[in-house]
Amino acid sequence: MNKNNFIVVDIETAGPSPHQYAMLSIGASTITNPKETFYIELVPDFSDFTKEAMKVNGLDIEKLEQTGVHPSQGMQEFAKWISQVVQEPFQPIFTAFNAPFDWMFVNTYFHKYLGYNPFGHKALDIKALFMGVHKVDFPDTSHFKICQFYGLETNLSHHALEDAIQEAQLLEIILNEI
């Protein structure tokens, strides 16, 4: 199995939907050794936010308005990084822990700001992969339970890069079992 095209992505957002809330940060990691990583914080392109989301991500909207990268530039930088770490003839595989959530934001932002998504139209969910490999029920696919299964510490910081690196470790373990 070629592991060179898996990119584990984690994001932090201002709320639950890319149609009303901003994607605030992107973290990504390969599962190759040494791991290559990407991290960026974005200027919010929506002003709405939920208190719950901001409490979880610990980011400051006002600070991001001053220090963040415009989403257009941020998505260009992310696409460039992807093309550097996954080279032809391989297609990058978007992978995330709870991929449906992260995917909807990343896909929306790539299409909104670049007109295309370098990942294409597919994603791999680490939770679903674990569920299939170990034949467990969906409630048994929480980050805590999967880390517990492998004897790993679970310390989700909700910093996109730190979480992407930790989720890349989980993906690598599962792929090695396959």
Which residues are marked as active site?
A: 158
Residues 78/72, Cβ–Cβ less than 8 Å: no
Residues 30/7, Cβ–Cβ less than 8 Å: yes
Residue 29: C-alpha distances to residues 21, 86, 95, 130, 165 (Å) = 24, 11, 10, 19, 6
Sign of the CA dihedral 65, 70, 75, 78?
A: negative
Q: Which residue has the tokens 């373990």?
A: 173
Q: What is the pairing mode between strands 123-125 and 93-96?
A: parallel
DSSP 124: E
